[in-house]
Amino acid sequence: MNIFMLLEMAADAMPDRVALVCDGESLTYGELLTAAKGAAALAIARGAERLAFLDINGPAAPVALFGAALAGIPYVPINYRLTEPEIAALLERVSPALLVSGRSAVPAGISAIAAGEFLALAKAGGGEDLVAPDEERGIAVELFTSGTTGVPKAAILRHDNLLAYILGTVEFMGADEGDAAIVTVPPYHIAGISAVLSSIYAGRRMVQLPNFDAGGWLALARAHGISNAFLVPTMLQRIVEHLDATGEQADLPALRALAYGGGKMPLPVIERAMALFPGVDFTNAYGLTETSSTICLLDPEAHRAAAQSDDPAVRRRLGSVGRPLPTVELAIRDEDGRLLGPGEAGLVFVRGDQVAGEYHGLGRQTDDDGWFPTRDRGWVDEEGFLFLDGRADDVIVRGGENISPGEIEEVLTSHPAVAECAVVAMPDPEWGEGVAAAIVLASGAQAAAEELQALVRGRLRSSRVPQAIRFVDELPYNETGKLLRRVIREQFAA
Amino acid sequence: MAARQYKAGMKLKSAVCDTQIMVLRVPAEPLDLRIGGAPALAGDEAGDGATIDPALAGGSLTGKRYTDAEETMEFLCTKGGEGTITVAGREIGIKQAKALPSSD
């Protein structure tokens, strides 16, 4: 199998429909197919064993993704926000490769070409006679993990995995001709890959916004009559804040669907967003790089049911990531691998054809029955809605007792003066690890550490009470909205 | 032609119409897979000049997944055509899947 088939089907069925728009440039499905063939020919001519991409989003990214597929080599988008030494180290690992980038200093074996020139050469043609290889278990994409716990791992996504996800979740040409999706996630993120594959298979025009800011997003969405959008929580939060601060109306009459994921969504943000975009269908998508994107969905119906319900069990589902896709199985297990039931918190395992779960040099991480440990903690309610409770690595082990930061954070953020907080482990000579909390106060609000400690003591066991509380201006997030707990831990350990 | 063994990922085409399909899932045993009444062709196999069986000209649609009633097999239609897809003489139909909201 080969993901190139998705583009071939789209170009065959709707050659003249616009596939993507960016900065005044646009490509139809037919033109995208031509460019992908040209890109494949270019990569083959340069002897590339990988097609790497180190740039902001633009038309060259999907051209490189499909060009690599046709050439039968992995597509490797690299995070352009990394430091110079980090980028240099990753480039050594992808050589020999054709690298789409404006860099001049590259290691041996790397042939670099700027995105503009790459796109122009690709569009000029070539590769008309190439046939997408059908290699068994061929690799489509390699994505470097963020490396928050060490050297970045190269996650492997095979053609089979990505196709299983797309064929299982997207209706071919399911979009109306006028539909358009605004793409703000960077090309090196799994959501950036799945945005391209889903949009192309659905026949939904992509409008790329390489650098996100709330005002720019709103203006572009209006100008292009955007019907669909995906945002990481931080982006949605900025849009909500922008609308509230300026008093501007959302004014997006064409917008029908807004999906979000990639990190924990603060409850006040989603509640406010639903109020600001009343007619819009909200979907929460939970997934990992290793699972070829989305594995669980909280669909628009569940959003509305939760927002309108007086039943606390239904109401709290606004903070859940929903239920697994029909093609994905989910299980919660304890530390010893014992299957847990509804309401019992443990480790989240998933299984399905889209689940790749493997890294270069480390092999497949699935067990003999195909279950992949996400290393996320969570529990499901009686109706199967999954609630996430942080990463397994974030658990605080205090005197042998496992403490999940999530339950403490939930109590702390229930205090009206607390805008945001993060609970982490800190070294403790007596208990091994202790509980520490970094707090961002709401604008103009005040709360004493003792008051917050008393709040936790009143609602949870005494072992959950933060022994250290720091008030900070903001919490550290990476650009896709992932909370960097490691940074906070280091601050408490210092 | 007798039944033959298929496996996931195989690409097949009709001998009598434009239909092309890809195997997504098949049982372990061989299948008598036909499109428009004529055995489906693999790779560069050529048809024997047969024409479409008018009784099996219900058509196939690009992008639809086809499955039997028991869902023991599944094929993706990568290019639609005039012929009906059958296995052992029984028509296999479009898989009815619940539409999911876009999450990308």
Are A299 and A372 part of one and the same domain? yes
**DSSP string for residues in A226-259:** --EEEE-HHHHHHHHHHHHHH------TT--EEE
Is residue B62 situated within a structural domain? Answer: yes
Is residue B28 situated within a structural domain? Answer: yes
Is residue A218 situated within a structural domain? Answer: no
Residue A399 identity: G
The angle, 0 to 180 degrees and rounded to 10, between the axes of the packed helices A4-13 and A29-45 is 140
Please give the average per-residue pLDDT across A300-323, as a whole number: 96
Q: Give the three-state DSSP class for A319.
A: helix
Residue B47 above 90 pLDDT?
no
Q: Tens of pLDDT along A446-457?
A: 999 999 999 999
Q: Tens of pLDDT along A235-287?
A: 999 999 999 999 999 999 999 999 999 888 888 899 999 999 999 999 999 99
Q: What is the pLDDT of residue B2?
A: 67
Are A15 and A162 part of one and the same domain? yes
Q: Which residues contact A460 (CB under 8 A, 6 or more apart)?
A: A407, A408, A411
- Domain assignment of residue A203, given as a range: 4-211
The domain tally of chain A equals 3
Is residue A282 situated within a structural domain? Answer: no
Residue A104 above 80 pLDDT?
yes
Closest residue to A259, CB basis, from B22, B79, B103? B103
- Domain assignment of residue B32, given as a range: 11-44+53-94
Is residue B1 situated within a structural domain? Answer: no
What is the rounded distance in angstroms from the CA atom of residue A266 to the CA atom of residue A80? 27
Contact A7, A33 (CB under 8 A): yes
Are A75 and A173 part of one and the same domain? yes
Domain boundary residue, one of A393, A410, A430: A393
Q: What percentage of chain B carries pLDDT values higher than 70?
A: 98
A494 pLDDT tier (thresholds 50, 70, 90): confident
A234 pLDDT tier (thresholds 50, 70, 90): confident
Are A410 and A341 part of one and the same domain? no
A71 pLDDT tier (thresholds 50, 70, 90): very high
Q: Find, among B22, B23, B25, B47, the residue nearest to B36 by Cα.
A: B47
Contact B54, B101 (CB under 8 A): no
Are A357 and A419 part of one and the same domain? no
CB < 8 Å from A in window 47-86 of B: 62-65, 76, 78-79
CATH number of domain containing A422: 3.30.300.30
Is residue A36 situated within a structural domain? Answer: yes
Please give the average per-residue pLDDT across A292-297, as a whole number: 97
Are A89 and A175 part of one and the same domain? yes
- Closest chain A residue to the Cα of B11, Cα to Cα: A1
Contact A468, A421 (CB under 8 A): no
Is residue A219 situated within a structural domain? Answer: no
Are A373 and A467 part of one and the same domain? no
- Average pLDDT over chain A reads 94
CATH number of domain containing A339: 2.30.38.10
From chain A, the residues in CB contact with B76 under 8 A are 167
The angle, 0 to 180 degrees and rounded to 10, between the axes of the packed helices A190-202 and A60-71 is 80
What is the rounded distance in angstroms from the CA atom of residue A365 to the CA atom of residue A333? 16
Is residue B6 situated within a structural domain? Answer: no
The structure tokens listed for B98 are 């619940």
Contact A297 B101 (CB under 8 A): yes
Residue B61 above 70 pLDDT?
yes
Are A360 and A402 part of one and the same domain? no
**What φ, ψ does residue A222 adopt, rounded to 5°?**
-70, -45
Q: What is the pLDDT of residue A151?
A: 79
Q: What is the pLDDT of residue A243?
A: 97
Contact B63 A181 (CB under 8 A): no
Q: Find, among A69, A191, A150, A48, the residue nearest to A361 by Cα.
A: A150
Distance of CA A91 to the CA centre of its chain: 23
The domain tally of chain B equals 1
Are A436 and A460 part of one and the same domain? yes
Residue A395 above 90 pLDDT?
no
Q: Which residues contact B54 (CB under 8 A, 6 or more apart)?
A: none
Contact B22 A169 (CB under 8 A): no
Contact A389, A406 (CB under 8 A): yes
Are A24 and A78 part of one and the same domain? yes
Q: What is the pLDDT of residue A20?
A: 98
Chain A with chain B: Cβ pairs closer than 8 A: 76
Tell me whether residue A35 is exposed, middle or buried, using C-beta atoms within 10 angstroms of its C-beta: 0 to 12, 13 to 18, 19 or more: buried
Q: What is the pLDDT of residue A430?
A: 86
For chain A, how big is the Rg over CA atoms in Å?
23
Are A299 and A188 part of one and the same domain? no
Is residue B103 situated within a structural domain? Answer: no
Contact A283 B99 (CB under 8 A): no
Q: What is the pLDDT of residue A315?
A: 95
Contact A235, A182 (CB under 8 A): no
Closest residue to A326, CB basis, from B79, B98, B101? B98
Is residue A19 situated within a structural domain? Answer: yes
Contact A173 B63 (CB under 8 A): yes
Q: B95 touching A, CB under 8 A?
A: no
Is residue B102 situated within a structural domain? Answer: no
Q: Which residues pair with A439 in a beta bridge?
A: A421, A471
Is residue A71 situated within a structural domain? Answer: yes
Contact A24, A2 (CB under 8 A): no
Domain boundary residue, one of A155, A183, A211: A211
The angle, 0 to 180 degrees and rounded to 10, between the axes of the packed helices A405-413 and A449-459 is 120
What is the rounded distance in angstroms from the CA atom of residue A97 to the CA atom of residue A303? 45
Q: What is the pLDDT of residue A148?
A: 57
Contact B11 A134 (CB under 8 A): yes
Contact B78 A8 (CB under 8 A): yes
Are A10 and A104 part of one and the same domain? yes
Is residue A272 situated within a structural domain? Answer: no
Q: Give the three-state DSSP class for A393.
A: helix
Domain boundary residue, one of A172, A187, A211: A211
Q: What is the pLDDT of residue A271?
A: 94
pTM value is 0.91
Q: Which ipTM value was assigned to this complex?
A: 0.94
Q: What is the pLDDT of residue B1?
A: 54
A82 pLDDT tier (thresholds 50, 70, 90): confident
B48 pLDDT tier (thresholds 50, 70, 90): confident
Please give the average per-residue pLDDT across A188-194, as a whole number: 96
What is the rounded distance in angstroms from the CA atom of residue A457 to the CA atom of residue A453? 6
Supply the DSSP symbol for A462. G
